[in-house]
Amino acid sequence: MQLRGRVPFPCSKKKLAIQFHWQRRTTLIRDVAQAISYVHHDVQPPIIHRDITSRNILLDADYKAFVSDFGIARMLKPDSSNWSALAGTYGYIAPELSYTSVVTEKCDVYSFGVVVLEVLMGKHPGDVQNFISSLGDQFLLEEILDKQLPQPETDEEEDIKRCMSVAFGCLLPSPKERPTMLKVYQDLIV
């Protein structure tokens, strides 16, 4: 059924989800990790994006991902406290920013972890810490992954598990326990 020359929303959403298959999703995750790693580790002084969200990731015609909107980004100054007003998008902001207001690279690491879950789930995970604790130690991947896609093939599943493991590391409550984006990117390209 068509409505004024357009495919109804549920059909178009499913069609878009299928075009954005597992391999494209894991490639997007690696592209974004590489971009954030670059601004954290290869630029002097390092740049903290402060608003890593799915809305700030652009895709080209070949589904190559680019991080955009550096409007609230900050350069980390080594001889400064790097205090800042709270900025970013609710649901992606690292929990420590609510009580410290100190911006570090680990804030972007946390936001990246949320984006990884969102990409793999096909939706925002909601309250991230409650979501993770509800999973427990043992969970089935198919319970988490986007239901609009067929279950991943064996080789895709390994890549997805790697992405999921990295995401959980990025979402650790303590910023000191989170990996750097360089480590995240290295873990994703193994």
User: What's the number of CA atoms in the CB half-sphere (13 Å) around residue 161?
Assistant: 11
Mark whether 51 is an active-site residue: yes
**Chain centre to alpha carbon of residue 68:** 13
Instruction: Output the CA–CA distances (angstroms, integers) from residue 86 to 57, 107, 127, 167, 179, in the order listed.
Output: 21, 11, 18, 23, 22
Residue at 165: amino acid letter: S
Catalytic entry in 31, 51, 108, 159: 51
For residues 33, 39, 172 and 115, what is the CA-based torsion angle, rounded to 10 degrees? -50
Joined together, the tokens standing for residue 149 give: 């896609």
* Cβ–Cβ < 8 Å for 178, 172: yes
Element at 167 (helix H, strand E): helix 154-170
Distance (Å, rounded) from C-alpha 39 to C-alpha 73? 10
Cβ atoms < 10 Å from Cβ of 92: 24
Task: Write out the catalytic residue numbers.
Answer: 51
